[in-house]
Structure 1
Amino acid sequence: MEHFEAQERERERAADAMHNQMDDDGFVLVTRKKTGRNTSTETATGATVQVAATSGGDEPGSGPPKKKRKQMDTADFYHFQQHEKKREQLLKLREQFEQDKERIARMRASRKFKPQGYATEFI
């Protein structure tokens, strides 16, 4: 196991030595490091790798506006809950309709109901 760990350390040292090194063609191989952010600078030029601005503005917040996340409604998180809520609303609406029908029937029976459009002169 010690032999394997020694090989791994040697391989990591070789990878660190190759990091940000220019090859014969003048290209730098960009690799991902597993630990944290690379904040090192190239020793020859002192340059660091930075991200270019997207909107051309010099201010940090001058880029395109970010989309706001929609606040999640936790009351109806699952789809079946949405269906149940609609079903309950429909049942309430039907009950209200039946109550209104009964009320109108009572008003007609007592002859106090005069719907719009009726001519009151002829009654």
Structure 2
Amino acid sequence: MAASAKRKHVRRLVAPLGYTAIPVKFSEKHQSPHYLYVKEHKVRDDKNHSRPQNCTLFVLNVPPYCTEECLSRLFSTFCSVQSVEMCEKPTLGEKTEGSRTKFFKAKMPLGFHVAYIVFKNPAGVQAAKSFSTEEPLVISSKEHPVQTGIQKWITQYAASVVDPAELKTEVDVFMQAYDEKVAKEEAKAQEEDGIPDEEGWVKVTRKGRRPGLPRTEAASLRALEREKRKRAHKELLNFYAWQHRETKREHIAQLRKKFEEDKQKIALMRAQRKFRPY
């Protein structure tokens, strides 16, 4: 009884304020438990639909060997898990879309992580918060083994080796989908080319102008005013260009004058340079 009370007292010290400590261990052979600290995920004015309120559990101190599949399996004892998102540190906003290919996935940094576990029912969050048993949850079992050490490195290295044929197939599929998307956008742009906007303007593309409705009087006045401003700006640019040409001419004349003066100095120096043996 005394030992049990002592273990409970230690557990209260381990759990930070507002969190619930859930003991886990890597396998049945391990004796010392590792603690996951969980609490309900609540953010003011949260617009993240991937982490709904009352159904999301925030988890701290997730060990490096624990994957998203492991967390989903461990917390499914409380309630059905909808999704698990593991991050290097707490984040706000929408969940970033992961890579669509297995060849260019961003590697998770080494070390401890945080996780967001979304349950299908709000009861899962309450069950995890009220978890009070001292028997640790097992991460790696015979039915669900977790690779570590040299076996994990071998698996990661084998996964890093790219099959050229498989990569080419995936690239071809991606380019085909991209070409179809570009073709749809071009077809949509062609349909919208001949439709005038609210002011009566018709979009002009490299393929030519499509016939449309005539401009309104207000649009014509705005076009005339715009052309007037362009002419005034063009005249101003021409003035500056003429001034720039004059400046260049003066600079060239000064360089030529300096060149002639230097030639005379060199000729004078050569004339004064005489051989005097005595």
TM-score by length of 1: 0.33
**Higher relative strand content:** 2
Q: Report which structure shows greater RCO (CA 8 Å, sep ≥6).
A: 2
**Higher relative helix content:** 2
